[in-house]
Amino acid sequence: MKKGFTLIELAIVLVIIGLLIGVGVSLLPGLINQQKYTQNQSLINQNYNALIGYIMANGKAPLASSNTNGTAQSQNIGYIAIGGLQKDAYGNTFYYAVNNRALNISINGTSAQNMSLTSTSSINNFCAVLYALNYYYNQNPNLNASDTRTINNSNRTTYTPDVFVLISSGANNKLDAPNTITGSNGVFASQQYPLSQNYDDMAMALPITNAIGQFCSNYSYSGSCTGTSCTLTSNSQSNSNTSSGNSNPNQNPYFQQCISSCNPSTNISCWFNALWFGGCSQACKNPNFYTNYCQ
């Protein structure tokens, strides 16, 4: 005759099961938070790449939106204009700040033009403003809300000038200092800003020096700034039309190769990414598009 389990043995099994359930329940919130955090990283990356694509296609940085409909200018991401996402993983609208510092820039001896990263219409002019801003900030000028910049910690003595900053307010559903969206603030947390009980925002920024490396491989300038007046000299043949703002695809050595590659039957990745930039003809005007997406 087979013996069954004793009451003591059953009690021990139930205790073990209870302990396992208790451990699982205690770990569940942490696992959910981690999943949300990972999802949020993916969403902010998507919007960051959409902003990069907008710049490549339009030769300028987009203005921000004054409300959550993504169409005007002020503090929220213009997700409609860039083809991006409105909300983060926590259901909050992404915040976006763009460098709108205007400088009077003379290129190759031409009359100075008032230009900013949001007012140009070609990558070569966009690069001219990037170089001018780099020279400008090296003067250690007085800064205001137009000068979007990030800091790595609460010590504000050093900063990185940026093209834009993209921010998710995190799980606590509010922006944490230094990330305040007001007309007087141009200082934001960088991606390296340490998380703490008082800070759970997620930020991604495009530093000006990184943007020069990313967009300006065929457009470089030497020069200097005195106050907000800057004088630049182009260092390559690709810059010859910069002062007029023209973007001549014939000056792009990859233009014909890019057009040939931009075909869904032969290079689906190249063709698909071109859709973000207004189609193959528009995307291929920028030499960086071919080297980044079609080779």
Using N-to-C axis directions, what is the helix angle for 208-215 and 123-137, rounded to 10°? 150
How many CB atoms are closer than 10 A to CB 112?
13
One domain for residues 85 and 228: yes
Query: What is the extent of the structural domain holding 290?
Result: 248-295
Using N-to-C axis directions, what is the helix angle for 7-58 and 123-137, rounded to 10°? 100
- Domain closes at, from 212, 231, 247: 247
One domain for residues 280 and 194: no
- What are the pLDDT digits (tens) for 138-197? 987 888 888 999 998 887 778 899 999 999 988 888 888 898 877 677 899 998 898 888
Residue 291 lies in a domain: yes
Share of the chain above pLDDT 70, in %: 79
Radius of gyration of the chain from its Cα atoms, rounded to whole angstroms: 25
- What are the pLDDT digits (tens) for 263-279? 777 777 787 777 766 67
- Phi first, then psi, for residue 77 (nearest 5°) are -70, 135
For residues 103-130, give the mean pLDDT.
Answer: 93
Residue 10 lies in a domain: no
For residues 228-248, give the mean pLDDT.
Answer: 63
Angle at 110 between CA 107 and CA 116, to 5 degrees: 50
One domain for residues 197 and 272: no
For residues 226-252, give the mean pLDDT.
Answer: 63
Residue 8 lies in a domain: no
One domain for residues 264 and 161: no
- Domain closes at, from 209, 224, 247: 247
Decide which of 133 and 288 is more confident: 133
Residue 119 lies in a domain: yes
Residue 21 lies in a domain: no
The per-residue pLDDT for 218 is 85
Give the integer Cα–Cα distance in Å for 279 and 281.
6
Residue 80 lies in a domain: yes
One domain for residues 149 and 188: yes
Residue 211 lies in a domain: yes
Specify which residues 204 forms β-bridges with: 166
Residue 128 lies in a domain: yes
For residues 192-216, give the mean pLDDT.
Answer: 90
Q: What is the DSSP string of 161-184?
A: EEEEEEEE-TTTTS--TT---STT
One domain for residues 216 and 275: no
One domain for residues 241 and 258: no
One domain for residues 172 and 294: no
Residue 181, judged by CB atoms within 10 A of its CB (0-12, 13-18, 19+), counts as middle
One domain for residues 101 and 214: yes
Using N-to-C axis directions, what is the helix angle for 208-215 and 7-58, rounded to 10°? 70
One domain for residues 206 and 165: yes
Domain count along the chain: 2
